[in-house]
Homo-oligomer: A and B are copies of this chain.
Amino acid sequence: MEQKGILIVVSGFAGTGKGTLMKELLQRHPEQYALSVSMTTRSPRPGEQEGVEYFFTDTEAFEREIEAGGLIEYACYCDHYYGTPRAYVNRQLSAGKDVILEIEVQGALQVKEKFPNTVLLFVVPPSAQTLYDRLKGRGTESGEVIAARMKRALEECAYIPQYDYILINDELSVCVEQMHHIIQSEKFAAVRNAAFIENIYCDLRNLSV
């Protein structure tokens, strides 16, 4: 069996509770997973800490990082850059941790193209109505913002068939365990175990002579 960790991308409509889901997964299985911290040029929101939610930087520094090949993926979203620093991801994978990137659809597909064994998960609400209700229920967004989020969700729908799995975030606790099982099951994919299969083949041949 492959001992190295695997790369997982989690995307999903705004308002489906991806953040809470990930926090819960890491709390339950701290030895198993590492959450990648993205770099962004957008300003910190109240309460966001450098190196926790994001590494905050400016456009010039971000573009230098792109040039230097220091990002696994990056995308421009709502006029700001977002990207995944390569070094941290590699370090965690080598240590056997499964690394989760919470990124939007453009970045997700870039990662899959570069690393075809990445597992792409898309978090969906149980229904469109639930999403609408959740966005409204937050009470912090204007009608305009809610409309923009719904429109964005509609656009993102087109990308879901390129994902490997959907995760329906109805009950948090159930969804977290499903996510864990999906990721751990992926480790048994034949495509990830070519070396193990090759070994068995060689040993069988030696024993058969």
Contacts and interface: CB of A to CB of B under 8 A. Distances in A.
Interface of A: 1, 122, 124-125, 127-129, 131-132, 147, 150-151, 153-154, 157, 160-168, 178, 181-182, 184-186, 188-191, 193-194, 196-197, 200-201, 203-208
A148 to B, nearest CB: 10
B166 A188 contact: yes
Contact of A185 (B154, B160, B165, B193): B165
Shortest Cβ-Cβ A-B pairs, 6 listed = A128-B203, A185-B185, A182-B185, A157-B201, A181-B181, A128-B204
A161 B194 contact: yes
Task: Tell which of A153, A154, A185, A203 has the most Cβ of chain B within 10 Å.
Answer: A185
A207 B157 contact: no
A185 B165 CA distance: 9
Residue of A160, A189, A204, A208 ringed by the most chain B CB atoms within 10 A: A204
Contacts of A194: 161
Given A122-B190, A125-B200, 6 more contacts: A124-B197, A124-B200, A157-B201, A161-B191, A182-B188, A185-B185
